[in-house]
């Protein structure tokens, strides 16, 4: 008997020169048999089309997409201007390898991004493909430029699934389970999030900030000397850790510590950047200057592109050839990103983010204020259109010690995923996040008022049903 994989490869439909499997059911079967089990999926079926705020599956099912493919299609699926720019570029130059010569869209993109930088000192760019590569590049730059090894990360932070980025990821153990040894020299401090300090939801921001900065000072005197510390890496809005915007004072505190000790501040805006959290980059709301700024996801609205931006004065110290990558700064992805930047400005995307953000927060607060639901809802938070609702759980991590858990209320673990599942059944894609009971809203930044209302209605219905069933 042949192993199962050989049987499928020898099946008539897949042999070279023969007919290919064409029905949705046959393709699904290929997915089940031949796509790695290491991938998880929140919905059944095969995506075949995307347009604006909606995706379509091969069987014709249409869904409102409040995930944006995890914060990527910020201008909606297949934004005509972005798709056209990419298609046109495909007819001119697809691969203009960055170590052979500059390619035109790469430089045109820098022209468009320079005025959007949160600080004028950020004037030196390197484009790569994915967020995790940008993180790897930043960690390498920090070590090379400071001659120091250690990195301080945030508890709850997520930075990717390659070895350096896995090491600084502290949001869930599943990302590195069994994969050790990871990159050495990584330390972490708690983020100013009440769970991480064992404080109630009512804990004031000032207390959370003080506690986190206190832990940073302890860390620098007990575990990693400033002389050995190359960088602090932080997502200014914690993504996989629960959608928590960092208080301005916390970011200022990190900057002050970095300035005091010559440590580089790496701001990872892979998820929260590009308008997602209400401004081009969230960090600009605090006025804090990054030494290295990372972006990806919304940058090219679905084409693989990431960016590492720093100061020329720093990047001039890098040895030519020490940065690079076969596909880094692909011409088609850069052309798409130019169109994204143009659409951002000309379609006044940020005004829509403000209006839809208010609409979404109002709908979520209405649920939180409803007496039948309020015991089950711990928090509504976020910035711009990076918004979360956190539910209670009497079984979550450390629930017995956690003052946020309502006493006497019995809520089984998994409320967030039950709500997300209901939303999917009712026609809206929605994701959970973190080790806590959190659902996250990542709608397109140009979502219409009507589609936002539809999404909020589906969500409200789902929450009510899950609470009734609890
Ligand atoms: C903040 C942040 N950094 C880095 C990454 C890794 O990006 P990628 O999945 O493109 O490698 C992600 C992905 O979700 C992210 O949210």
CB 158 less than 6 A from any atom of ligand 1: yes
CB 273 less than 6 A from any atom of ligand 1: no
| Together in a domain, 226 and 164 | yes
How far does residue 189's CA lie from ligand 1's centre (Å)?
20
The atom number, within ligand 1, closest to the CA of 235 reads 1
Question: Which residue among 290, 311, 346 closes a domain?
Answer: 346
Q: pLDDT (tens digit, 9 = 90+) per residue, 221-243? A: 999 999 999 999 999 999 999 99
CB 298 less than 6 A from any atom of ligand 1: no
Tell me what pLDDT residue 21 has: 65
Task: Name the DSSP letter for residue 24.
Answer: H
Tell me what pLDDT residue 411 has: 80
Question: Which residue among 329, 346, 363 closes a domain?
Answer: 346
The domain tally of the chain equals 3
5 assigned to some structural domain: yes
54 assigned to some structural domain: no
Tell me what pLDDT residue 140 has: 98
| Together in a domain, 275 and 402 | no
Tell me what pLDDT residue 1 has: 38
CB-count exposure of residue 448 (10 Å: 0-12, 13-18, 19+): middle
CB 302 less than 6 A from any atom of ligand 1: no
336 assigned to some structural domain: yes
Tell me what pLDDT residue 409 has: 75
Tell me what pLDDT residue 408 has: 73
49 assigned to some structural domain: no
Q: What are phi and psi of 49, to 5 degrees?
A: -150, 155
- Give the residues of the chain that fall short of pLDDT 70: 1-18, 21
- For residue 388, the Cα-to-chain-centroid distance in whole angstroms is 13
Q: Helix axis angle, 349-369 relative to 449-469, nearest 10°?
A: 30
CB 276 less than 6 A from any atom of ligand 1: no
How far does residue 271's CA lie from ligand 1's centre (Å)?
7
CB 270 less than 6 A from any atom of ligand 1: yes
Q: What is the CATH number of the domain that holds 126?
A: 3.40.640.10
Q: What proportions of the chain, in percent to the nearest 5, are helix, strand and coil?
A: 40, 15, 40
174 assigned to some structural domain: yes
Question: Which residue among 320, 346, 372 closes a domain?
Answer: 346
How far does residue 468's CA lie from ligand 1's centre (Å)?
36
103 assigned to some structural domain: yes
| Together in a domain, 331 and 401 | no
Residue 427 has, within 13 A of its CA and on its CB side, a CA count of 13
- Beta-strand relationship, 386-391 and 438-441: antiparallel
How far does residue 161's CA lie from ligand 1's centre (Å)?
8
436 assigned to some structural domain: yes
How far does residue 3's CA lie from ligand 1's centre (Å)?
36
Sheet holding 229-234, edge to edge: 124-128, 306-310, 292-295, 264-268, 229-234, 150-154, 186-189
| Together in a domain, 369 and 402 | yes
């Amino acid at each position: 008997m042949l192993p199962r994989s050989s049987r499928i490869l020898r099946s008539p439909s897949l042999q070279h020169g023969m007919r290919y499997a064409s029905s949705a059911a046959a393709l699904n079967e290929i997915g089940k048999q031949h796509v790695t089990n290491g991938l998880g999926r929140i919905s059944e079926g095969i995506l075949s089309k995307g347009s604006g705020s909606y995706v379509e599956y091969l069987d014709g099912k249409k869904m409102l997409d409040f995930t944006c493919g995890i914060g990527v299609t910020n201008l909606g699926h297949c934004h005509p201007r972005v798709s056209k720019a990419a298609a046109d570029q495909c007819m001119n130059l697809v691969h203009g390898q960055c170590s052979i010569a500059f390619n035109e869209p790469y430089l045109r993109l820098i022209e468009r991004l320079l005025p959007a930088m949160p600080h004028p000192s950020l004037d030196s760019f390197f484009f790569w493909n994915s967020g995790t590569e940008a993180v790897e590049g930043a960690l390498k730059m920090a070590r090379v430029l400071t001659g120091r090894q250690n990195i301080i990360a945030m508890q709850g932070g997520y930075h990717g699934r390659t070895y350096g980025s896995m090491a600084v990821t502290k949001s869930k153990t599943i990302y590195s389970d069994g994969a050790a040894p990871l990159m050495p020299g990584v330390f972490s401090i708690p983020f100013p999030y009440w769970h991480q300090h064992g404080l109630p939801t009512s804990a004031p921001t000032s207390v959370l900030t003080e506690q986190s900065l206190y832990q940073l000072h302890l860390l620098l005197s007990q575990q990693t000397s400033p002389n050995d510390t190359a960088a602090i890496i932080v997502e200014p809005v914690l993504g996989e850790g629960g959608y928590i915007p960092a208080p301005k004072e916390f970011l200022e505190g990190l900057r002050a510590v970095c300035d005091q000790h010559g440590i580089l501040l790496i701001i990872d805006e892979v998820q929260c950047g590009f308008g997602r959290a209400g401004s081009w980059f969230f960090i600009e709301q605090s006025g804090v200057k990054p030494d290295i700024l990372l972006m990806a996801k919304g940058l090219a609205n679905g084409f693989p592109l990431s960016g590492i931006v720093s100061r020329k004065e720093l990047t001039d110290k890098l040895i030519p050839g020490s940065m690079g990558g076969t596909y880094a700064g692909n011409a088609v992805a850069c052309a798409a990103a130019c169109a994204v930047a143009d659409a951002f400005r000309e379609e006044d995307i940020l005004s829509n983010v403000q209006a839809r953000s208010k609409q979404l927060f109002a709908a979520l607060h209405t649920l939180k204020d409803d007496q039948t639901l309020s015991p089950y809802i711990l928090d509504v938070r976020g910035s711009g259109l990076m918004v979360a609702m956190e539910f209670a759980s009497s079984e979550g991590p450390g629930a017995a010690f956690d003052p946020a858990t309502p006493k006497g209320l019995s809520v089984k673990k998994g409320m967030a995923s039950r709500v997300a599942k209901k939303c999917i059944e009712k026609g809206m894609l929605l994701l959970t996040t973190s080790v806590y009971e959190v659902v996250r809203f990542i709608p397109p930044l140009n979502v219409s008022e009507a589609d936002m209302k539809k999404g909020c209605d589906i969500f409200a219905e789902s929450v009510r049903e899950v609470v009734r069933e609890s």
